Amino acid sequence: MVNEMKSIAVVGGGAGGLIFANTMAKEMSDDIRSGRLKIRIFDGSVHHEFQPGYLSVAFKGKNPATMRKYLSELVLPDVELIPENCSRVDIDNKYVVTEKTGKKFGFDEVIIATGSRPDYSQIPGLSQANHDFHTSASASAELFKRLEKIRWGRIVTGIAGLPYKCPPSPNESAFLLEEYFVRKKLRKDVKITFITPFLRSYSNETVNSVIEPMLKERNIEIITGFNLESVDPEKELLTSMEGESVPYDTLLLVPPHSGAPIFKGVEYADEDGWIKTDKYDLHVADYENAFAIGDATDLPISKAGVEAHLEAVVVAKNMISQMQGTGERYEFTGRLQCSMETGYHQATFVIGTYDRPIERIQPSLYNYFQKKLMERIYWASLKGGYEWLFKWHFGEDYYRKSGKEKPPMQTPKVQNV
Amino acid sequence: MTKTVVDSRGTACPGPITDLIRAYRKSANGDIIELLATDPGVRADSKAWCERTNNELISLEEKNGVFTVEIRISGKKG
């Protein structure tokens, strides 16, 4: 039970923000309903989209409407949704300011879950030339319409710059393109080229040893060490920083990503806007009352929904433990679990932790079904559903107990107005 | 000429090479990037990366489990 009025601000309503807020709401509902605890989630988006589903929209023609729901439908009633983004998060003075109306909301604890977004400004010409299968369901649907018109030519897919979210996604695009044109009986007339700034088709050697032979077997051209500098949309030409050129007819690159612009220049973020985050308990810089989860962090792991999920659970469990005075502390294990569809109803996974190297996993139909299962349970998982399944699946990697005890919380100073 | 120290200690593959590539994008010919890493894979990866991108590997040392890779940026066109 919370002894004094406490307010928690969750900045960002993506997977991490929603799972944190809804988990807190489920576990602390008595305190929320009695007015001792307030949880606000700030996000100006109308919809929340199931981002792994973009591939199915772009390369299989799935209806984009099935990949989105109203954000307001995904927030439990005990959580207050403020339908605005924040323009400022002042951790020292414990308040956020909303973007449109300029309202100020105080907090005792803040969770930064602002995700990542494509940053086309890094590569001149890319935004005009690119068909983005990676950023929205509607853009993915537009790409599928374009694919249906292609009869011949060279499609270049891959990685335009670092970092980016969902590391397997560029490889998946190559596999799914190949399958698409084989099924259309146009494969011999469509050249597929995969470019990457890494030295391998997949950045990690273990995963690469599984997928690179498959890409080669399917006659997908691989150009590694390609640091894209610019795109000439008129000449349909890519140029690398080293002066190499690659022509294209259709361009499908994953753009480099950056953190939320509001964090550029703040002392608790790096120069690119990624939040300085403790890799275990996820506190921000030297702050005890601020946490960051998901893509927004500077953690050296994949930017993907599963990390946001597991991090949200760790932060929620620690906060609940502290409020309930159990003294238990939990740590994020760094668990990765990114699925990679390799075409023809097969998939592999990228699985590892901070302490355990990435495993070698052969593609299989079983893995593919696991990936598809996630599509089925995703919306419920955002509300804290299927926790038993995730606990069972991730086992000791779901979270681990820590020896460290958090110091007592300072007296809350609620400044909301 | 600027020198940038990229600290990738504690990160596993592809952490060091990811950090190197990100720093490379912001660099100019003549700049030095000093990459610190604990993942032994950085030894082969940094050599191969320099060869592929025409940048100069100045030195690669290991001391107490920390690899220090010094690279002079020389591969950018223009």
Q: Please report, for chain B, the start and end positions of each structural domain, with discontinuous segments joined by +.
A: 3-72
What stretch of H or E contains B15? Answer: helix B15-25
What residues of chain B lie within 8 A of the CB of A161, using their CB?
25
Alpha-carbon distance of B2 to B73, in angstroms, equals: 10
Among chain A residues, CA nearest to B28: A241
Q: What is the ipTM of this complex?
A: 0.96
Residue A364: DSSP 8-state: B
Token pair for A292 = 């960051």
Domain topology for A125-257: FAD/NAD(P)-binding domain (3.50.50)
How far, in Å, CA of A299 to CA of A280, rounded? Answer: 10
* Tally of CB atoms within 10 A around B23: 19
Share in percent of chain A as helix, strand, coil (round to 5): 35, 25, 40
Q: Decide if A163 and B49 are in contact by the 8 Å CB cutoff.
A: no
Q: Which two three-digit tokens encode residue B8?
A: 């990738």
Sorting pLDDT into bands at 50, 70 and 90, what band is A411? Answer: very low
Structure tokens at A105: 């909301």
B12·A352 Cβ contact <8 A: yes
Q: What is the pLDDT of residues A242-264, one digit of tens each?
A: 999 999 999 999 999 999 999 99
The CA distance from A20 to A313, in Å, is 6
| A9 DSSP β-pair partners | A40, A110
Is A198 close to B10, i.e. CB distance below 8 A?
A: no
Distance CA A188, CA A172 (A): 20
Which residues does chain A have within 8 Å of residue B14's beta carbon, measured at their own beta carbons?
198, 203-204
| CB-based contact A162 B75, cutoff 8 Å | no
Q: At A116, list the tokens.
A: 């990542």
Q: Say if domain B3-72 classifies as CATH 3.30.110.40.
A: yes
Question: Which of B21, B29, B56 to mutate against chain A (most A CBs within 10 Å)?
Answer: B21
> Burial of A100 by CB count in 10 Å (0-12 exposed, 13-18 middle, 19+ buried)?
exposed
Distance (Å, whole) CA B5 – CA A62: 46
User: Which residues does chain B have within 8 Å of residue A162's beta carbon, measured at their own beta carbons?
Assistant: 18, 21-22, 25
Decide if B21 and A352 are in contact by the 8 Å CB cutoff: no
pLDDT for B13 equals 84
Check pLDDT > 90 for residue B12. Answer: no
How close, in Å, is residue A86 to chain B by CA atoms?
28
Token representation of residue A52: 């792994």
pLDDT tens digits for range A170-200: 999 999 999 999 999 999 999 999 999 999 9
Q: What is the pLDDT of residue A2?
A: 63
Average pLDDT value for chain A:
94
Q: What SS3 state is found at A12?
A: coil
CB within 8 Å: A242 and B53? yes
Residue B52 near chain A (CB below 8 Å): yes
Measured between CB atoms, does B29 come within 8 Å of chain A?
A: no
* Cross-chain residue pair A224–B52, CB shorter than 8 Å: yes
CATH code 3.50.50.60 region(s) in chain A: 1-44+83-116+259-332+410-417, 125-257
With beta carbons less than 8 A apart as the criterion, state whether A275 and A308 touch: no
| CATH of the domain spanning A1-44+83-116+259-332+410-417 | 3.50.50.60
Q: DSSP secondary-structure letter at A208? A: H
Structure tokens at A407: 């110091």
The catalytic position among B12, B13, B21, B28 is: B13
pLDDT tens digits for range A47-86 = 999 999 999 999 999 999 999 999 999 999 999 999 999 9
Cβ atoms of A342 and A336 closer than 8 Å: no
Pick from B14, B22, B48: CB nearest A203: B14
Backbone angle region of A19, left / alpha / beta, with phi > 0 → left and psi within -120 to 50 → alpha: alpha
Kind of pairing between the strands at A221-223 and B56-63 = unpaired
Work out the pLDDT band at B1, boundaries 50, 70, 90.
confident
Which two structure tokens, joined as six digits, stand for A73?
Answer: 């439908």
Query: Which pLDDT band, with edges at 50, 70 and 90, does A402 fall under?
Result: confident
Chain A CA closest to residue B73: A242
Residue of B nearest to A202 (CA): B14
Judged against a pLDDT cut of 70, whether residue A280 lies above it is answered with yes
Let me know: does A90 contact A96? Beta carbons within 8 Å. Answer: yes
Nearest CA-CA partner of A240 in B76, B20, B32, B39? B76
Closest chain A residue to B75, measured at CA: A242
Q: What is the CA radius of gyration of chain B?
A: 11
The question of whether B13 is a catalytic residue gets the answer yes
Q: What are phi and psi of B66, to 5 degrees?
A: -110, 125
**pLDDT tens-digit profile of A351-394?**
999 989 999 999 999 999 999 999 899 999 999 999 999 999 99
